Structure 1
């Protein structure tokens, strides 16, 4: 039997200029109720480096770093069925988030960055009518076995 998973609300404010999209939170993130909660995920370390911020462990402080740097964070999928795994390949019956309403509410967002190929594919397949630039960034997941330094070089475009 598959479990229904519901994602998190967006981290966003009226000053946000870019949106980073994942696919759906993994098991550890859901347990912690935090985006990118798995300790091996490179997301927060990369964000710290590209924003020249101290590495912080407090989730609230991490969120403030995003907001200070005008970075919004959300997932393409609102809810789905997924066996007890974090693998995107096991996602079934996905219901997408409402991006039409989101971009109306946050018109200052001018560019979308997709964290990984699944997020990119889902966003492009379901929201190609949204006329914002969309760019792929390599997944920060530990399952995407590239060195963190290599990922960091690719992610620097986020604040360019």
Structure 2
């Protein structure tokens, strides 16, 4: 029996990493959601607090900037971005809907970043995959609460306090 079109899980693919040779903190998400894939931009959902949380770490209102300027600010502050999942089948945007995941070559990327001090994971799914993939990596592996609007069990203030821990790796 063939699946009804509404039940088909479309294969989604992550973006290229945003890093520089002097990246000190690499923040890994799971896989871009629908809004991000449509816009071809990391954390494009208007209610995702990623830009706010990282901006609070570096003392810059990243949400007020154009996307290219946001990425430039991250790199200026030695922060990189990527995702743990290279591609997967997923209907919608929830991490819990990810199926048949192929992982990005995380160890290969971190091996090219000589100044890397910390790999931070934006949410449980990225931490579960990434911490396993980078278990032998000689730097801090830091799970953080998700910036996603789907993770509403923690206040933004509490998330800010935990994300602020990234600051010590940027000095």
The Cα offsets for residues 80-113 of structure 1, whole Å up to 9 and x where unpaired, read as 1111x10001101111111222122222212111
Task: Report the CA distance between 1:132 and its aligned residue.
Answer: 2.8
Q: How does 1:5-154 map to 2 (within 5 A)?
A: 5-55=12-62, 56-83=64-91, 85-145=92-152, 146-154=154-162
SS in 1 for 2:80: strand
Cα RMSD after superposing both structures: 1.2
The TM-score, its normalising length taken from structure 1, stands at 0.94
CA distance in 2, matches of 1:101, 1:126: 10
CA distance in 2, matches of 1:49, 1:129: 30
Unpaired segments of 5 or more residues in structure 2? 1-7
Instruction: Give the number of equivalent residue pairs.
Output: 159
Runs of at least 4 residues of structure 1 off by over 6 A? none
SS in 1 for 2:54: helix
Q: Equivalent residue for 2:3?
A: none
